[in-house]
């Protein structure tokens, strides 16, 4: 069943017209990565301590939850290349991928939940479920009641970076999604030695390229200023280019492009990556 689910996600990403730029027909996203986490993985209980009590465990979203199915949607090369050239605002291709591509991601969430339900399994996409919300948490800043990044980490799809994103085997330029189901499936092993291993800054004290790429000054050696980042991404950027690009959500992504982890887990100092 793991293979069937992974194949269905890949098929939908490859065939859906929602995964297409309106003017060129080129895709927003390349072939996805898929991982699986056990709904009773102790990490989900630990997230209530790390993120906050408001963060919901899989069983709080779906009674009888057994598995969290997660995916990574890598941004295409052409879009990444367009964003590498920018230093203040995101490229038009990046903004369309953030706005329209996330609409496609939600369509994928709904499709996979329905696909599982048609086969007799209960399923729900946490980010589309009743009660999902964003909030400001005293300990961690901007947060939500379900973190796609933390679910993907639990499913063995990557580790966290200096800018709080997830560095996967396909890099850091992506969108993430998940669906919870009562179908028991074998979890994907987590092979990294710690939750920040894929980031050169945390692994060996090198790099920090994302700091210089942030036009808002939201990144430093101390980490990610979520409030400053949010004000820029959801305030300054849409005000500057949203109307010109024809989108409400523009994203930014400058710290996810023209950096060593853009498309891979960087080796660093000549060492092989896991």
- Which 8-state DSSP code applies to residue 208? -
Handedness of CA 62, 67, 68, 73 (dihedral sign): negative
CA atoms within 13 A on the CB side of 94: 26
Q: What is the pTM of this model?
A: 0.94
**What is the distance between the alpha carbons of residues 263 and 26, in angstroms, rounded to a whole number?**
19
- So what's the pLDDT on residue 139? 60
pLDDT-above-90 percentage for the chain: 91
pLDDT, tens digit, 9 for 90 and up, residues 32-60:
999 999 999 999 999 999 999 999 999 99
Which whole number is the average pLDDT over 75-81?
98
Q: What value does the mean pLDDT of the chain take?
A: 95
- So what's the pLDDT on residue 136? 77
- So what's the pLDDT on residue 155? 98
pLDDT, tens digit, 9 for 90 and up, residues 118-128:
999 999 999 99
pLDDT, tens digit, 9 for 90 and up, residues 222-274:
999 988 999 999 999 999 999 999 999 999 999 999 999 999 999 987 554 43
Model confidence band, residue 30 (pLDDT cutoffs 50, 70, 90): very high
**What is the distance between the alpha carbons of residues 81 and 157, in angstroms, rounded to a whole number?**
24
Tokens of 228: 């400053």
- Which 8-state DSSP code applies to residue 188? P
Model confidence band, residue 141 (pLDDT cutoffs 50, 70, 90): low
- So what's the pLDDT on residue 273? 41
DSSP string, 159-173: EE-TTS-EEBTTBS-
């Amino acid at each position: 069943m793991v293979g069937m689910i992974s194949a269905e996600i890949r098929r939908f990403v490859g065939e859906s017209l929602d995964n297409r730029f309106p003017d060129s027909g080129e895709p927003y996203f390349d072939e996805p990565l898929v991982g699986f986490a056990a709904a009773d993985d102790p990490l989900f209980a630990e997230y209530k301590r790390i993120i906050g009590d408001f963060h919901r465990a899989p069983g709080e979203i779906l009674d009888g939850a057994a598995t969290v199915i997660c995916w990574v949607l890598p941004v295409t090369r052409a879009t990444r290349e367009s964003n590498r050239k920018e230093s203040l605002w995101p490229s038009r291709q990046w903004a369309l991928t953030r706005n329209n591509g996330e609409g496609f991601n939600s369509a994928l969430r709904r499709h996979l939940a329905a696909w599982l339900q048609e086969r007799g399994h209960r399923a729900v996409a946490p980010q589309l479920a009743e009660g999902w919300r964003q909030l400001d948490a005293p300990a961690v800043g901007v947060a939500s009641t379900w973190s796609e990044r933390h679910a993907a980490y639990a499913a063995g799809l990557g580790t966290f970076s200096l800018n709080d994103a997830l560095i996967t085997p396909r890099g850091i330029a992506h969108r993430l999604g998940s669906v919870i189901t009562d179908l028991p499936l074998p979890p994907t092993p987590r092979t990294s030695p710690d939750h920040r291993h894929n980031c050169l800054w945390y692994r060996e004290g090198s790099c920090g390229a994302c700091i210089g790429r942030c036009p808002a000054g939201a990144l430093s050696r101390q980490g990610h200023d979520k409030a400053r980042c949010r004000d820029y991404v959801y305030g300054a950027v849409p005000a500057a280019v949203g109307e010109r690009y024809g989108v409400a959500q523009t994203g930014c992504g400058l710290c996810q492009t023209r950096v060593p982890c853009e498309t891979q887990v960087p080796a660093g100092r000549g060492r092989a990556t896991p």
